[in-house]
Structure 1
Amino acid sequence: MFFSSIRSRLQWVLSPLLLLTLVITATFVYFSSRSELRDALNAQLDLLSEAAAEVRGEALLALPSEKDDYEENWTTKKFDYLGDFLLVIRDQNGSVLYNSMPELSVPSELEPGDHRITLDGQAWHIVVRRTTNADRLYVSGRIEEEARDVALQLVGTAVLPLSLVFGLALLVSIVSVQAGLSPLLKLSQHLETRPAKNLDVIDPSDQPSEIKPIVDALNNLFKRIEQFLRRERQFVDDAAHEIRTPLTVIKAQAQALNPTGMDESNRRRVNNIIAGTDRVARLSNQLLQQAHAEKEKAGTDTIDLRQMIIALATEFDALARQRDVTLELKDKNQTEFLCLANRDDLWTILRNLIENAIRYSGSPGQVLIALTERADGHLDVSIADNGTGIPQEERTKVFQRFYRGTQVKDNDGGIAQEGAGLGLSIVLALAERNNIDVSVARSERLGGADFRVSVLLTRQKTPG
């Protein structure tokens, strides 16, 4: 890129702008000041010329004002300025030899020196000078506020162009600063919209030099977080594997005990050991699934989603009958729905949701699986039950690790004891890495929870 830093970008844009503003401002002030001062000084020159000629008893030829517009314009300005200056010449007897403004009554008794007097209601600065042979007395004066008036005229002449120049400079400065800071704004927007699980490094090659240290620090932070998460997943994976072996041994030893010689309390204890071992084994399997779900997707398969759901419904038919749950598949069109996803991931997502629906339905229970094709090319798989459902405030929390709802009850009517709150967390992790949407709402038909899986279809065909 042409500018390697924000600082150089602003310097290269603002420095010429400020220099140009200075040149334009100085040019306007110079020409407007020169014009006004020239008019005032020329009026004084005319006044001196007329006074000298009149003292000598001579007359000056009129300016050829009709010669061009400039002379005509100048003649008008000259008379404007002549009224601001006074020149009176007296002889040794006090007779007036010349008076540029006879309508003013200048006191004849003024002594040589500076005087500030009021003539015709206006303040004047009067200077009285006498010649060396005392045969002439020169009285010159100007209106006291003449300097202020000239200054105001200069300012008034320059204020409009200077305002335009200032406005243009301000506009260009604002645009330049925004353009200079655009890389920082772009980085901020990227970080704000970046998914929380996206730990990919940011390309620092296109960043200004001031932002590169920030980008490098962020990239190092992303790498450390990714390493930490990888170590955490590996730890969970290893721990779950290590737990499975002793659990298998404990369960085998408990089952090998001969119950015939035991009393009822000891038999209950052995059964509790086996049940507890099964729960821990289930937790171990879920931890393995969680660690697997948070790894990168292994591959993509073309899957007949309808056939997969039929296979899962067949698999859970025995569990549904055991828990007095009616499992129904609603698919009127008998359509083959094909999608692209990892087969094992999609199987695990649907299996966990169907198992949860059976486990937490009412008594007697009812689970309805419905397939609905949308106009945008997606297929919604709805898995609804007639259980207690999930409150509105908990519907985003149920996908968090180890979260157990406050109203979770199994279809026996008691507080659910099985599971560790990892099933839906696994579902969400697998869904995210396969670009599958999973949500939960209240089932309008059954009144319980309604989990929806939205999958993008690749193509459809109707058998036959």
Structure 2
Amino acid sequence: MRKPGKKSPVNTMTSKLSIYFASIAVVVGATLFVFSQAMLYWLEDELNSRTLQNSAGTAIVQFKHGASSPLIITTTIRAYNRIEDLPNKYLALTQYPLGFLDEIHDGGFEDLFLYRTEYTHEGKRFPLLLIMNAEHVELSPTEWRNINLISLVVMLVLFLLFGFAIIKVTRRLITPVTQLSQQLKSTDPNAHFSVPRDSATEFNELADSLNSYRQQNEKLIRQEQAFARYASHELRTPLTVIRGATWLLKQKTDPEYQSRQRERIAKAATDMQHTIEALLSLVKQEQAKEDAGLRVITRAEIEHIIEYVHPLADSKGLTITLNMQCEPKIQPSESVLRMLLINLLNNAINASESGVIVIDVAHDQIKVTDHGSGLNESEQSTKGHGLGLLIIDALCQRYDWQFTLSPAAHTGCIATLEFNQ
């Protein structure tokens, strides 16, 4: 079994990245320093060697015109065309071959540059030795120390600037992650995911997605809770009626009385069947929804639904009017439409004390208008409309319908179900 790796908080990434890039910067800086020093030494020797080599032509011309050895070309360069003219301390230079051009470090004399060659004059060969004192043409130890010190200071400044830039960049990358992690751990249900304004676009998109997912989860949780409460209420009511009617059947043997009880049982069983079918439609597979064909809403179907809520409307002295402009085609079954309209009508009846409730059926929508107290705060908010209306929301989403609540012209509320043909 694979063991999980060692976990470390994202906050430590800033220090880890700083150490990592600091190590790289030190290695690169040291490499560049050594390379620059070597290049300076090489460049210094190369320039002096070329200067000495170019001075050979001047020395040959002057010797051919009768100049005597040693010939002073510059304050630092001397030319010899006879071995016997060399000072005793330079006699060891004769051992170097013709064409030698380089700096010599010898314990017997100071550092110098030597160029040994020869030239021909009047048929005779003459040796030519050009000697340059290195101490007068090379940088002094003090100058080298100053150059090294300046190089180190420049590299240190660049190292600090580089480190500061790395810390700023890593913090800009890590701060949004840290902030989102803390917000995810928060137990506040109203917490809002956010990142600093200067964060990368992807972090802002991630925060927006998390906010969207949280809202969707909260909505689904409310719908699930509403589903459980609604199912419990809607299923217990007919069961209570069935149990009560069954008990009453045992009390009297009068045929008319028993017929009424049987009708109550049959009606309660039918109501339970419609409720179960409508609630199960919420959890059916999407393929089932796609395969369902269109059906026509008839006036008789709407009137049958109105009859179900008539006792409640009569108890409050309300009148329910149906305006059937046409018979539209819809996808939901009779059970689903029944649950939708019964919930809307019950809400309209409960919100009204008198007046008329109007049902308008058009080719693309169904409206239920009441003259009650209007929308309350929970119905106006974006968090839902209450128990029954949450079920309506879920059913409308199931069939791609649009459900809206809006205030009526004077008083009351208009509930609209919009559907696509």
TM range, smaller chain: 0.3 to 0.5
Q: TM-score, normalised by structure 1?
A: 0.42
Taking CA–CA contacts closer than 8 Å with sequence separation of 6 or more, which of the two structures ends up with the larger relative contact order?
A: 1
Q: TM-score, normalised by structure 2?
A: 0.45
The structure whose residues are more often helix, as a share, is 2
